[in-house]
Amino acid sequence: MATHPWWTAAVVYQIYPRSFADSDGDGIGDVPGVLTKLDYLADLGVDVIWLSPIFTSPQDDNGYDISDYRAVDPVFGKLADLDRLIEQAHDRGMRIILDLVVNHTSDEHPWFIESRSSTDNPKRDWYWWRPARDGYAAGSPGAEPTNWASAFSGPAWDLDETTGEYYLHLFSRKQPDLNWENPAVRQAVYSMMRWWLDRGADGFRMDVINLISKDPSLPDGPPIGGGPLGVAWEAVVCGPRIHEFLQEMHAEVFAGRPAPLLNVGEMPLATIQDAVLFTDPARRELDMVFQFDHVTMGPTKWDARPAKIADLKASLGRWQEGLAKIGWNSLYLSNHDQPRPVSHFGDDGRYRVESSTALATVLHLHRGTPYVYQGDELGMTNAPFTSIDDYRDIETLNHYAYDVGVRGQQPDRVLADLRKVSRDNARTPMQWDSSPHAGFSTATPWIPVNPNHVEINAETAMADTGSVWHHYRRLIELRHTERAVALGDFTMLLPDHPHIYAFTRQLDDVTLTVVANLSSSTVELDLAVGGELLLVTGGVGTDSTHLKPWEARIYRRAVG
């Protein structure tokens, strides 16, 4: 029997520490808080915990702006707390992967402080520095070295008064981009990664890792809407040396280590063809990638139209087919940057439980490794924020300021769109119980708790065998016990049906058939299915000819 990587049968649980559990009563989640919930995660059955950044940071972008890669930020605890978390997770059979943010650092990182000190500092070319555009005075409109727009609104270049030159930041102005063309930068990153693996970390989730190789000529990008700013992505996404850099990283950091690791790369705008190359085991780059094809459909900050199930099915189906023979899919519907899946793709009102479980069923039965974002196993919903003062996310605040202050949009209209897509939808505190702060903290949390925590919380869900939580537990158990879930071939059924999502997973003599009605109306099931009914959302009493709103079923048939 062929040996397959351990992570093919694993489920990863993402923790956003700031919003997970607060142990010291300051309103901010922390590493000791995560420690108190390890048994909860073990009961759910997850195999891997992915921690969003807990490193020392000014917190301009909630920890994705790192000023010390080898220290835990005091707001999250101490290095000894993280060591203890890794040890106790391992004791429970769970692994820990850390968030690797190395496309950029904080502008308060010692590397950048040195880099900006003078044009001849040894670390000057550890970052991307350029003089003003020819014919322009530094600081004048249009003087930026390129027309690139930042992902967080405004130009991607900031003038530093010390030397009169501009530095590149594809995200916040406090997140200067590292220059991976410099081999000293790469070696410093690899040394840090080895240090964490030596402390017991089991791998990394690599933030926007496909942006680390940039076209050194830094060409202008296509204009955005006829304005002065242009798109940077053509010059920075999957750049000319990206595969070289990742293969070097693998050789320098991961090769020869006895412990099984997991390394997944976040890759905005990556194509299926890119992912095949990145995840081909023979190339020794990454185990899997996070692509954005399916989560960028539906409402965005630029387009409030809802997601269509037909589009979701077509997107996931393309990726299943594209990585069927070479490579591996990561399976997710949400994370710390996305709205809640039940609000994005489901019905978070009348059919909140049903649509949460149906979406989970469809996702977890695909070929790939599923990722559960904290609270999705409870069916947590988007936040009902009514004021810009409720928001904390830099992307959201910058977008609001730009749309209202620069584009002249009506504040109510901008807020209505942000309620659907803001990253803060995923960052409200974890809902542990019905107490005033949802059991997250004894103090007022850093961001408001969703008021529906009175009904939607872990304590209530774990006591109800028909809850979203117990359905997730059963899906995870099924992946652990039925090899066809992890390794079976994927075949889409009824590809053109607007509401039914159906497919098979086949391995040797076992065929699993998944049928799900991803709509809020009863639909006719014009598909012959048979075998043992393994799992169904909404309980028993299944009508073989119809699917109730948001009903999902898994059948198993074995030949011989």
Residues 346/550, Cβ–Cβ less than 8 Å:
yes
- Alpha helical stretches, state H, 382-494: 394-405, 411-421, 458-462, 468-481, 483-487
pTM: predicted TM-score of the whole model, two decimal places: 0.95
Q: Residue 57, Cα to own-chain centre: how many angstroms?
A: 20
What structural domains does the chain harbor?
A: 6-105+182-385+423-468 (3.20.20.80), 106-177 (3.90.400.10), 488-558 (2.60.40.1180)
Output the pLDDT for position 57. Answer: 98
Instruction: For residue 452, count CB atoms less than 10 angstroms from its CB and return exposed for 0-12, middle for 13-18, buried for 19 or more.
Output: middle
Identify the CA nearest to 550 among candidates 309, 296, 314, 294.
Answer: 309
Counted residue by residue, the chain has a size of: 560
Output the pLDDT for position 1. Answer: 45
Output the pLDDT for position 161. Answer: 94
Residues 298/343, Cβ–Cβ less than 8 Å:
no
> To 5 degrees, how large is the angle CA 215–CA 216–CA 220?
65
| Element housing 523 (H / E) | strand 523-524
Identify the CA nearest to 235 among candidates 320, 147, 298.
Answer: 147
Supply the angle between the helices 352-364 and 468-481 in degrees, to the nearest 10: 10
Structure tokens at 287: 């185990």
DSSP secondary structure letters along 322-333: HTSSSS-BEE-S
**Average pLDDT per block of 10 residues along the chain, 560 residues long:** 85 98 98 98 98 97 96 98 98 98 98 98 98 96 96 94 97 97 98 98 98 97 92 96 98 90 96 97 97 82 71 94 96 94 94 97 98 98 94 90 89 89 94 97 97 98 97 98 97 94 97 96 90 84 84 91
Phi, psi of 47 (to 5 degrees): -105, -30
Which position has the token pair 């079976």? 488
β-bridge mates for residue 14, sequence order? 50, 373
Q: How many CB atoms lie within 10 A of CB 422?
A: 25
Catalytic residue set: 207, 266
Output the pLDDT for position 539. Answer: 62
Q: How far apart are CA 283 and CA 355, in angstroms?
A: 39
